Structure 1
């Protein structure tokens, strides 16, 4: 059974940021009053820039256009853990920049646990989010004899956190995160969650304590890494507060980060400022994912928070940030004009195409990408083949020309099938001029290949594609924000088909090139002479043969072929039954004195060199081919254009002149014998 299959081109949003001069994001936008939170002093459209990575978090959207204007890390509910991260690395260590962020923590006399603003090499989370960890610190306790490094290994890795802590965890034995700190009730602190000297471990309770620079030296580490400054009152006072980040790079690969916290109060504001200096080596130490990995020069910006039996909301709005180039892309899998979805059934040989659309808005300061050109890596489903222009499957190493369309102009990009055969790298993509908005489109054809699945199988393909520009890679997603394409593959039951059967006209060889009809006397004496039971090449010219290439008027063809597309390949067998040769007017059957049972003629099928089967004209089914399990297709005559067949006649007492004919009946059975 031949299959056709269809691919859905699911479109994926992605976003990259290029930092430029600071730009307010407080354009004409509306705060959602239904959110339950008052509007912040300043906020803007950050649609496509951030994405929740934990289930308790969500984006607050402008009711007029659905664009994101706020980030709700946690609702005002107990035992919550939330996180929202930038979709792309945006904090550029190679450019001066400034961020203004506002945060809201509700209005209640007793609240907790707090939240964190994070810079990290990649979006991540602790291996276990304890309520006092604020979504960044390592676990609150480990088994006896554990070391600080083991706590650090459970924390948010390769990161720097700025925290607003509203609940003290630890007021005596057995203690907790702030057991030794000068923490009163609320504080603004900084630290490196993935570093061992951010932690101390108490004895004998083995609780995790945060280790601040102001703490007394520890046996385990001489100095702590964290900083801590107390706040006069709770930030959960019904007001919005501000965190200002200013980064000033130096000329040696490092720079200075100034983090200024402003807590809005009924009386004078409460200020807390930390100035953090990073050398190039510091950046390597704190943010590289491996000791020998290059240090990232752009960091992701994230927001995390936790609540316990004491709780508060954690909400963020962006007042100002560096101008960002935006790239939002889609990839759609299509079967003709039909979009392939999770409920779409695809069959073998279905022809599909992936449609890619990438919308780019370059900053007013730089082209996109700023350096070089963008590249895309576009995987396909493992059950599909990419197709070349001639419709044949593309193999690893093949290069495919790709027409990229921007507006009304076409450009030539290049796609190369990667060594695994399951993805194409697209290069030579056009650069987008600064200040311009462009839509880039191209398609890649594909086809469902034979997969051998015996049951209906739901499939999720992941990943579905990336785009890279200026050294950063961004994942494609579907319109629903998913990172996979889904569809259903129907089972490949296949079929066993007797595709072609031959018809024959038999004559005697006459000299080197000619052919003639046998005489009555030759038929009485028998052909060949002497009578031969088996055919071989030595006596081939003495047999009647079809090698002159003629066909009867109602011919079924010259080739014998069996097609087996069943994935199980359980084998098969083919038989042929030949009726007695009879004059065309049915007045005489070839046989002794007109015996109607036949059996005087023997038809031999060969592969030009070897006898395959010999079938007598007595209506008895005779095996032609037995294909054992594991075997597949089989044919005779496909290479030479016709089956090499021969006809022998046993000596007979009588014969009549005329044209004789017989009917061949073929039977194909779906198992070997």
Structure 2
């Protein structure tokens, strides 16, 4: 890249001219037949209510809208352990409630190990999930002299579990989980995994035994915390079974939980019912995370399961549960009116916007959310910037005003950029009145930022957003039901540009404040050239300088600047060559004594403290700046303080009065890759 400028001298004045320009469970739903499981007797939309917490688990979704309608705890595979929990505490101990849940365990004569329905202070897991633990009990053995409390310490803490066990672990002298039980082949049991009185462990094998309460005189009396009732036959019979939970609170902070298990068969179904009473102190004992912590009044609902070398699927569907607000939402990434999709190519500086839509159906009993506080977390792609109202990128800590529309009414919310710079938390969202349905809409502008990618790159952004109210978090999806946004980023080639070159007017310093033209005699005697060896600001008045700040009529400015937006940052070289200073009518070359090649003048560029380059007026290219690989932009001077330049003249036999000019040619080149 070349740029040229003229330098003029009228004994007193030299100037430069540029030659070239610078360049809820509720709505009707469909069961996924592709899941391989038959449809349950009843099921509903539970989108946003539950989330897998172990890798072997997944949600089964309605093929028409992508909403969750089933919970697959484990596939029909060996040696699996799974867990799915509610995203927020939902089992309210201060309200009467009823839950109907269906479960499916496959269809095979021999299966295992079993599954559990759990109420807990928070989602958790045993420290080690043994295959016979069903994902809730403590480890199956410990070192000699271990105590029951040590087993309890490895179990799912602060919880109550209802289990369907299909594989007996423990028989004969070594013992095992079911050693202290009335176990036949299959049973429905209950217990408290994190309580020491749920276990026994003893010599010589130190295997973990579940300690059930048994009051059958034909056996013996035991007083463990667990209860256990045998089932007549395997529940892995190709049918869906039902667990009905009914909670009736009392007026003292406790209540009664009735758990009724129905194992469906062609004839003679199995029924097993347990009635569990909890006082306020019991709730404190079983569910508080610390002895002095307040008892939780809402519990998480979870589902766990394990398989071993004998295996079965564990699938759950929610038939009925307390009325809950229905909340779902979408986010679309737009470029103007165009929806950005997986095949859309985006380039640097493309202006985009995220369009958010949240559909809310409040219950007939309460507005949503009851707390009055809605929060949205809306992350952006890492290759984008959020934009403020003035179009500039938003930074962490910035607050963006957001207009939220519900129906025909506009509300003012706020979005605060989080410290990572990639998320906005939206607050001051309006409340939806009870018994009403509302659609909340708003947009956030964004722009593709400089990313430095050197090849075409497919991108998937996940997660794409959540909305939270009353402790419940709902995931946003795309209008197509996907949980990620996809697009293609084109490579950023960037460019290397010589943005600006300076023009110079040179004069001699004259006293403290003035400047003057040099005389012919001074030109003949020569004017000193500042070099690295004699650099001294105190002697600046000896030299021709541009520091008076004047510019020629056709000035190109006061700044020398290079802009490098190439992602490779391979470096660059900048050189300057200066033609001989010549009278404007071309009749005389400075120092001409039969030689018109010049070389009598030396232009010195500085940064006010050190010399940058010294260029003779002999048309020889001289390096000004070599930027190493990894470097980027560079500049000298400002619009209020021009590039510091000085001009030295060697002694010459003759000099003529008049105006001199020289052409400066700047050359910017790539450094080799």
TM tier, smaller? 0.7 to 0.9
Q: C-alpha displacement at 1:189, in angstroms?
A: 0.8
1:527-547, CA deviations, whole angstroms, 9 ceiling, x for partnerless residues? 589999978666656755546
Deviations along 1:414-466, one digit per CA (max 9) or x if unpaired, are 22344555543321111111122222233334556677889999887776544
Instruction: Kindly state the Cα deviation for residue 374 of structure 1 after the two structures are TM-superposed.
Output: 0.7
Instruction: State whether residues 353 and 446 of structure 1, in contact with CA within 8 Å, keep that contact through their aligned partners in structure 2.
Output: yes
* CA apart distance, 1:381: 5.8
Distance across 1 between alignment mates of 2:275 and 2:557: 89
Query: Conserved in 2, the CA contact under 8 Å of 1:333 and 1:353?
Result: yes
Q: 1:364 to 1:210 in 2, by over 3 A?
A: same
2:266 aligned with 1:269: no
2:561–2:636 Cα contact (<8 Å) kept: yes
Greater shift after overlay, 513-522 or 121-130? 513-522
Q: Provide Cα deviations, 1:548-603, integer angstroms capped at 9, x if missing partner.
A: 66655765433112345678989877543322112344443211424213122233
Query: Within 1, Cα distance between the matches of 2:382 and 2:306?
Result: 40
Q: Specify the alignment match of 1:329 in structure 2.
A: 329
**Residue aligned with 1:286, SS:** helix
Query: More displaced, 585-594 or 124-133?
Result: 124-133
- 2-structure distance, mates of 1:228, 1:17: 97
C-alpha distance in 2, partners of 1:344/1:85?
Answer: 36
1:28 aligns with 2:28: yes
Mapped contact 2:257–2:277 kept (Cα < 8 A): yes
Describe the SS at the equivalent of 1:15: coil
* Cα distance change of structure 1 residues 115 and 583 upon mapping to structure 2, 3 Å threshold: same
Q: Which shifted more, 319-328 or 108-117?
A: 108-117
Q: How does 1:249-648 map to 2 (within 5 A)?
A: 249-265=249-265, 269-289=269-289, 295-332=295-332, 353-380=353-380, 385-419=385-419, 421=421, 423-446=423-446, 465-474=465-474, 497-506=497-506, 523-526=523-526, 544-546=544-546, 551=551, 555-563=555-563, 574-606=574-606, 613-622=613-622, 624=624, 633-640=633-640, 642-648=642-648
Indicate conservation of the 8 Å contact 1:18/1:325, yes or no.
no
> Map of 1:45-56 to 2, 5 A cutoff?
45-51=45-51
Distance 1:202 1:492, change over 3 A: farther
My pick for the range that moved more, 285-294 or 508-517, is 508-517
Q: Which moved more, 1:445-454 or 1:272-281?
A: 445-454
Range 427-436 or range 144-153, more displaced: 144-153
Moved more, 354-363 or 75-84: 75-84
Asked whether 1:165 is paired with 2:165, we answer yes
Structure 2: distance between partners of 1:475 and 1:188: 34
Moved more, 456-465 or 142-151: 456-465
CA positional deviation for 1:226: 1.4
Deviation at 1:401, TM superposition (A): 1.6
- Pick which of 27-36 and 661-670 moved more: 27-36
Using the size of structure 2 for normalisation, the TM-score is: 0.79
Per the alignment, residue 126 of structure 2 pairs with 126
Q: Describe the shift of the 1:20–1:270 C-alpha distance in structure 2 as closer, same or farther (beyond 3 A).
A: farther
**Is the alpha carbon distance of 1:423 and 1:661 closer, same or farther for their aligned partners in structure 2, counting shifts above 3 Å?**
same
8 A Cα contact 2:215 2:222, kept in partner: no
The answer (yes or no) to whether the contact 2:95–2:248 under 8 Å persists in 1 is: yes
1:180 CA displacement: 1.4
Aligned partners of 2:16 and 2:505 also within 8 Å: no
Q: Secondary structure at the match of 1:197?
A: helix
Partner Cα distance (2:628, 2:495) in 1: 16
Quick one: distance in 1 between partners of 2:442 and 2:626?
A: 50
From the superposition, tell whether residues 593 and 71 of structure 1 become closer, same or farther in structure 2 (CA, over 3 Å): closer
Supply the RMSD in Å over aligned alpha carbons. 12.3
Seen in structure 2, the aligned counterparts of structure 1 residues 424 and 571 have a Cα distance that, compared at 3 Å, is same
1:413 Cα offset (Å): 0.9
CA shift at 1:196, angstroms? 3.6
Q: 1:196 to 1:482 in 2, by over 3 A?
A: farther
Contact 2:11 2:659 in 1 (8 A): no
Bigger shift: residues 220-229 or 451-460: 451-460
Alpha-carbon offset, residue 360 of structure 1: 1.7
The answer as to whether partners of 2:13 and 2:506 remain within 8 angstroms in 1 is: no
Tell me if the contact between 1:126 and 1:135 (Cα under 8 Å) persists in the aligned partners.
Answer: yes
Aligned length in residues? 673
- More displaced stretch, 565-574 vs 398-407: 565-574
Helix, strand or coil at the partner of 2:541: helix
Retained in 1: the 8 A contact 2:9–2:581?
A: no
CA distance 1:196–1:218, change in 2 (3 Å)? farther
Given that 2:104 and 2:236 are in contact with CA atoms closer than 8 Å, whether structure 1 keeps it comes out as: yes
Instruction: Give the distance between the partners of 2:136 and 2:15, measured in 1 at CA.
Output: 25
Unmatched runs of 5 consecutive residues or more in structure 2:
none
- 5+ long unaligned stretches in structure 1: none
Query: d(CA) in 1 for partners of 2:467 and 2:11?
Result: 13
Distance in 1 between the 2:358 and 2:390 partners? 27
TM-score by length of 1: 0.79
**Separation of aligned partners in 2, 1:380 and 1:283:** 42
Greater Cα shift, 90-99 or 61-70: 61-70
Cα offset for 1:246? 0.9
Q: Which range moves more in the overlay, 621-630 or 422-431? A: 621-630
Give distance in 2, aligned partners of 1:4 and 1:363.
Answer: 75
Q: Deviations over 1:588-628 (max 9, x none)?
A: 32114242131222334355687655433233445545778
Distance change >3 Å, CA 656–CA 132, structure 1 → 2: same
1:50-93 C-alpha deviation (Å, 9 max, x unpaired): 45555665656667777655545455565554444444433222
* 3-state SS in 2 of match to 1:592: coil
User: What is the CA-CA distance between 1:513 and the residue it aligns to?
Assistant: 9.2
Give 1:170 deviation, angstroms. 1.8
Greater mean deviation of Cα atoms: 480-489 or 158-167? 480-489
Task: After superposing the two structures, state which structure 1 stretch, 353-362 or 455-464, moved more.
Answer: 455-464
Q: Deviations over 1:122-180 (max 9, x none)?
A: 44444554433333333333444544444444444443211122332222132221111
C-alpha displacement of 1:327: 1.8
Secondary structure, counterpart of 1:283 in structure 2 = helix
| Contact 1:2–1:349, Cα closer than 8 Å, also in 2 | no
SS in 2 for 1:175: coil
Q: Equivalents in 1 of 2:105, 2:474: separation in Å?
A: 32
Please say if residues 10 and 331 of structure 1, whose CA atoms lie closer than 8 Å, have aligned partners that are also in contact: no
Offset from partner CA, 1:96-128 (integer Å, 9 cap, x none): 111122334455554433332222344444455
Q: Counterparts of 1:166 and 1:13 in 2: how far apart (Å)?
A: 101
Q: CA deviation at 1:325?
A: 0.6
- Measured at CA, do residues 626 and 60 of structure 1 come closer, stay the same or move farther in structure 2, by a change above 3 Å? closer
Q: Any idea what the Cα deviations from partners look like across 1:503-536, whole Å, max 9, x if unmatched? A: 2344567999998866656644545899999786
Whether contact under 8 Å (2:559, 2:639) holds in the other structure is no
The range that moved more, 22-31 or 10-19, is: 10-19
Pair 1:429–1:3, CA change in 2 (3 A): farther
